[in-house]
């Protein structure tokens, strides 16, 4: 039972970060598209392992950065130069991890023949290409607003529609 409670608390922490941190939402969207496009590259098991480790390191460091910021905000309500240094260091760790992730991505996805295959696939499956292009809009909305704000706006629109439909 204790382990289930631990997993539940961990999930709450991950969900909190996604709901409240724009940078975490940016990382999750990029990770989603990277994983989708990875299928075109016929990656080996080892390359997938490196890809998942890279993605998880960026997401994990973003969560650690968020927790450090929360602890500092809890301990210090006024400006504190040492607190700023701690926050900057935590953010720097995420930045370095993200830069390394891009470098690893370039190394893994350097097979230019796969890009030609991808282009041919989307030329043949135009509807999937259109869906891919249109998926950018909800992704940007997710990054900008977050799931909570999207939920509230959706509920407001539904209530407004119900009000006008019932008239």
Known active-site residue 62: yes
Distance CA 27, CA 8 (A): 22
- Which residue do the tokens 């709450």 mark? 12
CB-count exposure of residue 57 (10 Å: 0-12, 13-18, 19+) = middle
For the chain, count helices (H), then strands (E).
Answer: 6, 0
pLDDT digits (tens, 9 = 90+) for 34-78: 999 898 888 999 999 999 999 999 999 999 999 999 999 999 888
CATH class entry, domain 12-166: mainly alpha
Predicted pLDDT of residue 167: 53
CB 136 within 8 A of CB 19: no
Q: What is the pTM of this model?
A: 0.83
Residue 143, CA distances (Å) to 19, 114, 136, 155, 157 in order: 10, 28, 10, 19, 20
pLDDT digits (tens, 9 = 90+) for 122-137: 888 889 889 989 999 9
Least confident of 71-75, 91-95, 163-167: 163-167
Predicted pLDDT of residue 157: 82
Predicted pLDDT of residue 166: 65
What is the percentage of the chain residues whose pLDDT exceeds 90? 62
pLDDT digits (tens, 9 = 90+) for 98-111: 999 999 999 999 88
Distance CA 112, CA 36 (A): 17
| Angle between helical axes of 112-124 and 126-166 (0-180°, round to 10) | 50
All structural domains of the chain with their residue ranges: 12-166
Residue 52, CA distances (Å) to 48, 66, 69, 79, 101 in order: 6, 21, 26, 38, 10
Single out the catalytic residue among 21, 62, 69, 149. Answer: 62
Distance CA 86, CA 152 (A): 34
């Amino acid at each position: 039972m204790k382990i289930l409670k631990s997993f539940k608390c961990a999930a709450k922490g991950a969900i909190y970060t996604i709901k409240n941190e724009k940078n975490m939402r940016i990382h999750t969207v990029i990770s989603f598209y990277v994983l989708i496009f990875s299928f075109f590259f016929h990656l080996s098991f080892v390359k997938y392992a490196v890809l998942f480790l890279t993605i998880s390191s960026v997401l994990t460091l973003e969560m650690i950065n968020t927790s450090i910021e929360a602890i500092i905000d809890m301990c210090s309500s006024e400006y504190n130069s040492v607190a700023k240094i701690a926050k900057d260091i935590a953010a720097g760790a995420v930045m370095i991890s993200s830069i390394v992730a891009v470098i690893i991505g370039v190394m893994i996805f350097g097979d230019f023949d796969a890009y030609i295959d991808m282009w041919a696939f989307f030329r043949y499956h135009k509807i999937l290409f259109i869906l891919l292009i249109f998926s950018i809009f909800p992704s940007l909305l997710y990054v900008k607003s977050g799931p909570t704000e999207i939920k509230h706006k959706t509920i407001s629109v539904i209530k407004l529609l119900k009000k006008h439909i019932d008239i």
